[in-house]
Amino acid sequence: MTATSQIHILGVRHHGPGSARAVTRALAELRPDLILVEGPPEADDLVPLAASRDLVPPVALLVYTDEPQLRSAAADTTGGPQIRSAFWPFAVFSPEWQAIRYAVDNHIPLRFCDLPAAYRFGMAELELDGLRVDPIAELAAVAGYDDAERWWEDIIEHRRDGVPPFAAIAEAMAAVRATVQRTQTTPAADTVQPEPETGRPVVTDEVREAYMRSVLRAACKEGYRVIAVVCGAWHVPALTDPMPPAAQDAALLGRLPKKIPVTATWVPWTHGRLASWRGYGAGVASPGWYHHLFTTPDRVVERWLVQVAELLRDEDLPVSTAHVIEAVRLAEALATLRGRPLPGLAEMTEATRAVLCEGDETRLKLVFERLVVGEQLGRVPEETPSVPLMRDLAAAQRRLRLKPEAQVRELNLDLREQTDLARSRLLHRLRLLGVTWGTPIQSRRGRGTFRETWRLEWRPKYTVDLIAASAYGTTVASAATRKAREAADQASDLAEITSLVESCLMADLPEALGPVLTALRDRMAVDVDVVRLMDSLPALARTLRYGDVRGTDTTALTDVVTGMAVRITVGLPPALTNLDDTAAAAMCQRVEAVQAALNLVADIVPVRDRWLDMLAGLADRSDLHGLVVGRINRLLHDDRWLDSPTVERRMARILTVGVPPAHAVAWIEGFLSGSGLLLVHDEKLLSLVDGWLTAVPPDTFIKVLPLLRRAFATFTAPERRLIGERIRRGSGPRLDSDAEEKLDSERVAWVLPTLTAILDEATSPTPTPDGVTSSAEVA
C-alpha cells in the first residue's frame, strides 16, 4: 500500500436510507478521486448511463451468462443448462446508488469491486443464512433489541444529525467478526472451498474480500489519492489495515475457476420487487417508508401521516386534520413508551391503525400496499443494452419464422403440427408476460380443437415490457413460469386462477402448473361460494378433455377438477334455496354447464353419478324455485337418470290445482326451455301441459301468459308448428307414422340424391341441384 493513497471505507447497510444520507455527506466532504462500490465489475461500463435522466431508480444491474450454464448437480436433473443471471437492485435510498450519482455528477471514476460475476456463475453460491451470523442481529442483541432492523433504524437510519457513523460501524463490525471467528469453525482463509456434492468452488466472504482488496491495491498503484469504498458493513474490517499480504490474496484468487463470458445491463425494478427480493442486499420490507425517510427533509412523522391521510381521503374515507394531529401524538407517545428516539414504521403503523383507520384492517392494508411498500416503477434509457430474455425471444422468432411486424396480420395455426404448436406456445407465453403481440381470435375456419387463429401486431413498447419482464427469467419459458406463479399468489378470485390454469396449459409451462393448481386448490377450499366453483368448472373440464391435443400432462388437473366437482355436488343444494327469478335463471345455466362439463369428462372424473344422484334428490323438492327444479328434471330425463313415467308423474303433480300457477309455469319453463322436441314426441307430457293450460282460470292465464310465451319462444319454428298441429288434432296416432304434410313429390325428387349421398357413403356423390335448402324444412 502506497503511503500517498488515502482510503476511506464507508460501511453501509444495503438499501439503508440513513446509510445513503451518510454516504452522500461523507463523499462531499472527502472529495475522493475514485469510488469503489460493492457490485459486479462487469457493470463498470454501465455507470455513465446513470447520467441519463431516463435512468430512474428503482433499477437493477442485471448480469447474465452469454451461454447456457449448468446450475448445480441438483438442478441438472430438472432444468438442464440455463442462462444464469443475477440482479443487484438499487433504489434512490440505496447508498450504492447515491455513490453512483455522486460519481456521475462530479465526473469521478467509479468501479465495482466485488468478485466478478464471471467467476461467481462458475461457482456455488453459499446460502447466506445459517452459515454466517447476521452481524446486525448480533449488535442489536447486545444493545437489547429483539428486532435487528429496528435497532439499525434507531442507531443509523433515523439519525439526521449528520455525524457520519462509519468509524463506529467499523469498530462494531470488527468486534462482531472477532466473536464469530472465535465461535464458528470458519474455513481456513487461504483456500477456495469446494462444495461437498459437486466439488465446485464456493463463493465465500474470504474470496470476495480478497478480490476487493486486490482491486483496492490496484487502485492505489494507479496513483489515486483519495479512494472511497462503499460496501456492506460486514466487509469493512476486511478492507482496513492491517490487510493480509497481497501474495496471500493473489494465491487465493489464483485458484478461482475459469471466467465465463457474461453481459451486464440495467433493468427497471419496482418497490414491490424490492420488498420481496431475496438475494443481494436482501429484501427491504418497507421500500416506500425508506424512500420517505430518505427524501423527506424534515418533520418525517408529520409528513408521513399527512400522506396516509391523503391516501385515505382519495379513497373517500373521512380523515380530518384533527385525526392527523392525534395520530402524530400517538406515534410520539408510543415511541417514548418504547424508548425509541423517533417514531419508526411500527409506531406509525400503530397510530395509523388506531386513529386514521379506526381499527379497520382493510384500510390499513391499503396504506401498506400503496405507501409502505409503494408502487414506484423504475425506468431505463433506450440505449440500455438488451437483456437475455429478448435474445431468447429473437432466437425463438427466427426458429419459428415469426417476424415481429408492426402491421396487423392474421395467423392460422394447426396445433397438430410441431412448428405451429411451438408458435402457439410462444404466443401464449408472451401473453402471460404481458406482451400481447398475438391476440387469439375466433377462428373463421370452424372451431376445431386443433385450430387457433391469432391476430399479430408488434408494438415498440413490447421491447420495454420485455426488459421489465426480464426480472422474471432469462428465457421466455422461465420468465412466463415465474410470472404465472406470482400471478397465482396474487390472484384475488377463483376465475382469475382458473384462466391462469388454462394459460399455463396452453403455454405449456409444466413447472408453473403445479403451483398454480395448488393455489387453485387452496382458493377452492376456502371459497364458500359454490357459484364461483360452478363458473370455473366448465373451462377446466374443457382443458382436461382437450388438453391432450396439446400433449400436456393433466394428472394434477384431474385431481383439482374432481375435487371441484365433489365440492359443487355437496354445496349445490343449499345454494339453490331462496332464489329470485333472475338468480334462478342464472343458476339454471350454471347447472346445465356443470352437467355438460361432467358429461364431457365422465370417463376421467368419476363424479357424474354422484352429481346426478344429488340432482335426483332435488328434483322433487317443492321449496325450490320452479325454474330450477323443472330444469333439473329435464336434465335427469335427458340423461336417462329418470324414466319417463316418473317425470310424467311429477309433471302431473306440479300441474295441479294445489300448485300456484306461477310456480307451475316456472317449472314448465325450466323443463321445456331449449327444445320442444320432447313435447312433440311424448304425448303424455303434451296432454298434461295441454290439460293444465286449458284448466287455468282466465285471469290467472293472463298472468302466466308472458312466462309461457318465454318458455315456448325458445323452441324452433318447426317445433312450435308441430306442437301446434298435435294439439289441434288432439291425441291422435303418433307423428312419425303420419304423413301429415302434403309433399310436393317433384321437389322432393330434387333432394333425394343429396340425401342418399349423405346417408349412404357407398354411393358416389351426385352433383347437388339448386333448391336443396328446402330439405331443412322437410327434415
Binding site for other proteins (CB under 8 A): 318, 320, 322-323, 326, 329-330, 333-334, 336-338, 346, 350, 353-355, 358-359, 361, 525-526
Closest approach of other proteins to the CB of residue 254, in Å:
54
Closest approach of other proteins to the CB of residue 337, in Å:
5
Instruction: Tell me whether residue 337 or residue 762 sits nearer to other proteins (CB atom).
Output: 337
Instruction: Tell me whether residue 233 or residue 533 sits nearer to other proteins (CB atom).
Output: 533
d(CA 456, CA 413): 12
CB–CB of 213/239 below 8 Å?
Answer: yes
Closest approach of other proteins to the CB of residue 358, in Å:
5
CB–CB of 283/274 below 8 Å?
Answer: yes
| Pairing of the two strands 124-125 and 202-203 | parallel
Instruction: Tell me whether residue 306 or residue 727 sits nearer to other proteins (CB atom).
Output: 306
Instruction: Tell me whether residue 361 or residue 613 sits nearer to other proteins (CB atom).
Output: 361
DSSP sequence for 295-325: H--S-HHHHHHHHHHHHHHHTT----HHHHH
Alpha-carbon separation of residue 666 from 1, 615, 699, 715 (angstroms): 95, 18, 17, 16
Closest approach of other proteins to the CB of residue 359, in Å:
3
* Cis preceding linkage at 510, omega within 30: no
Q: Which three cell numbers stand for residue 765?
A: 356423390
Closest approach of other proteins to the CB of residue 150, in Å:
12
| Residue type at position 663 | H
Q: How many residues does the chain have?
A: 779
CB–CB of 151/145 below 8 Å?
Answer: yes
Closest approach of other proteins to the CB of residue 296, in Å:
23
Alpha-carbon separation of residue 544 from 134, 217, 421, 431, 605 (angstroms): 49, 64, 18, 21, 10
Closest approach of other proteins to the CB of residue 325, in Å:
10
Closest approach of other proteins to the CB of residue 350, in Å:
5
Q: How many CB atoms within 10 Å of residue 310?
A: 13
Closest approach of other proteins to the CB of residue 18, in Å:
24
Instruction: Tell me whether residue 256 or residue 319 sits nearer to other proteins (CB atom).
Output: 319
Closest approach of other proteins to the CB of residue 570, in Å:
10
d(CA 125, CA 127): 6
Closest approach of other proteins to the CB of residue 331, in Å:
9
Q: 3-state DSSP call for residue 571?
A: helix
Closest approach of other proteins to the CB of residue 13, in Å:
24
Instruction: Tell me whether residue 381 or residue 573 sits nearer to other proteins (CB atom).
Output: 573
Instruction: Tell me whether residue 239 or residue 331 sits nearer to other proteins (CB atom).
Output: 331
DSSP sequence for 713-750: HTS-HHHHHHHHHHHHH-S-S-GGG---S---HHHHHH
Closest approach of other proteins to the CB of residue 644, in Å:
36
Instruction: Tell me whether residue 247 or residue 322 sits nearer to other proteins (CB atom).
Output: 322
Please report the beta strands in 449-493, taking only residues with DSSP state E, as ranges in sequence order.
Answer: 451-456
Instruction: Tell me whether residue 346 or residue 677 sits nearer to other proteins (CB atom).
Output: 346
Candidates 274, 276, 240; CA nearest to 97 is 274
CB–CB of 679/724 below 8 Å?
Answer: no
Candidates 545, 541, 523; CA nearest to 532 is 523
Instruction: Tell me whether residue 570 or residue 749 sits nearer to other proteins (CB atom).
Output: 570
Instruction: Tell me whether residue 276 or residue 320 sits nearer to other proteins (CB atom).
Output: 320
CB–CB of 471/455 below 8 Å?
Answer: no
Instruction: Tell me whether residue 35 or residue 309 sits nearer to other proteins (CB atom).
Output: 309
| Pairing of the two strands 438-441 and 451-456 | antiparallel
d(CA 49, CA 384): 8
Closest approach of other proteins to the CB of residue 528, in Å:
8
| Pairing of the two strands 124-125 and 59-65 | unpaired
The CA radius of gyration of the chain, in Å to the nearest whole number, is 36
DSSP sequence for 517-558: HHHHHHHHHH---HHHHHHHHHHHHHHHHHGGGGT---HHHH
Kindly state the DSSP code that residue 379 receives in the 8-state scheme: B
Instruction: Tell me whether residue 346 or residue 659 sits nearer to other proteins (CB atom).
Output: 346
Instruction: Tell me whether residue 353 or residue 590 sits nearer to other proteins (CB atom).
Output: 353
